[in-house]
Copies of this chain bind each other. A is one copy, B any other.
Amino acid sequence: MTPSQSESARLDAQMAFLMEADRLKAITRATRNHDGRFENSAEHSWHLALFALVLGEHAPEGISVERVIRMLLIHDLVEIDAGDVPFFGEVDEAAKTAEETAAAERLFGMLPQAQGADLLALWHEFEANETPDARFAKSLDRFQPPNLNLASGGGSWDDYNVTHDVFEARMGPKIRHGAPALWDWLAPRVKAFFSRR
């Protein structure tokens, strides 16, 4: 059996998108896995989706775990064109936003029109960080790296000379924003880690 013309054309576009997505496996992040290797953005996206699957009960009410998982699966694809921005690094925010928006339009634009528009909207929702789903997803994206740093004994905190005060001031609000229960669990563990140094 041959797929119908339109199904085949849709598959051509979708497979081109999925094989382009393969390039996310080559984008290196500033965070280290617990074996010390720098994490790539594809395995990071998997890890975050698993965080959402397991930790959904700790989200503020009214979120959809399924939508959060979808967001997290696609949230870093823009890095294929725009690269990863280390959280404790320096960046021109406006230029970065423009670069990532262009990347999202190119990548999701490879898909059949309505499907691409849906995923582009989901990515914009994530970036805007306003809906409960986006807030929880963004907070998970901030919550995972400190846990890897605890597991690897310092990780990116050492690479970027991050102190406990800087961590609390810069990361605390971002994790609390969408996942206060996770921050309450994490904060004393990070404090204890830095106090032992």
Copies of this chain in the oligomer: 2
By a beta-carbon cutoff of 8 Å, the part of chain A in contact with chain B is 1-3, 7-8, 10-11, 14-15, 17-19, 21-26, 33-35, 37, 39-40, 42-43, 45-47, 49-51, 53-55, 57-58, 66, 69-70, 73-74, 111, 115, 147-148, 151, 180-182, 184-185
CB distance from A140 to the nearest CB of B (A): 10
Q: Give chain B residues whose Cβ lies under 8 Å from the Cβ of A182.
A: 11
Given contacts A2-B184, A15-B147, A73-B50, contact A22 B34 (CB under 8 A): yes
CB distance from A119 to the nearest CB of B (A): 8
A14 touches B46 (CB 8 A): no
Q: Could you say which of B1, B46, B66 contacts A46, with CB atoms under 8 Å apart?
A: B46
A151 touches B19 (CB 8 A): yes
Which label, helix, strand, loop or mixed, suits the secondary structure of the A interface? helix
Which 8 residue pairs spanning A and B have beta carbons closest together? A46-B46, A42-B43, A43-B43, A66-B66, A25-B43, A11-B185, A45-B46, A42-B46
CB distance from A185 to the nearest CB of B (A): 5
A8-B185, A23-B35 known, 18 other contacts, Cβ within 8 Å: A2-B184, A3-B185, A11-B185, A14-B54, A18-B55, A18-B147, A19-B34, A19-B148, A21-B50, A25-B39, A26-B33, A26-B35, A42-B43, A46-B46, A46-B73, A49-B73, A53-B73, A69-B70
